[in-house]
Amino acid sequence: MKTGTKKEGKTFFGSRRVIHDTFVIGIILKGIDGVFEIAGGVLLYAVSPAQINRTLFFLLQHELSEDPRDVVANFLIRAAGHLSVGTQHFASLYLLSHGIVKAGIVIALWKNKLWAYPAAIVFFIAFIGYQLYRYTFTHSLWMIVLTVFDVAIVVLTWLEYRHVKSAK
């Protein structure tokens, strides 16, 4: 990613250089996340629910022997026990599509494609909407943290888009 122009002045949000560097770091993190989602989607599709149950039990066996009432370990064991093939395929497809879109957008942003900035904003806002929808069911603090991160990425992408567009 190019830093743009000779003009590295101040913006409302701070130094142009700091905004750009933060944008680059955020996009790199999004790209890594996209690759992990693709790998997770492929792995989830390739492994049967029984294999998932056995693997989880093996991995959590020591933790459960120390504390049979461990909340996280018991939640994972119960969740894996209720995993149907349909749910597994949906989760796999979700991870694959989400990861491919995210990785594709990150690659286009890295290549400084002007169309990728508005596309990234639209897709990330859609992801934010879905995350907020999921939050209404899970009430997961992690979902809120992820959503705040995505909002920051949307703002940084918009600021970077304005800068790149004005430099061309």
* Largest Cα–Cα separation, the chain: 62
Q: What pLDDT, on a 0 to 100 scale, did the predictor assign at position 82? A: 81
Q: What is the pLDDT of residue 33?
A: 94
Q: What is the pLDDT of residues 152-163, one digit of tens each?
A: 999 999 999 999
Q: b/e per residue, 2-29, with b = 16+ CB within 10 A?
A: eebeeeeeeeeeeebeebbebbbebbee
Average confidence (pLDDT) per 10 residues, the chain, 168 residues: 51 76 95 95 90 89 89 86 85 92 95 95 94 89 91 96 89
Output the pLDDT for position 6.
Answer: 44
DSSP assignment string, 65-117:
HH-TT-HHHHHHHHHHHT--HHHHHHHHHHHHHHHHHHHHHHHHHHTT-TTHH
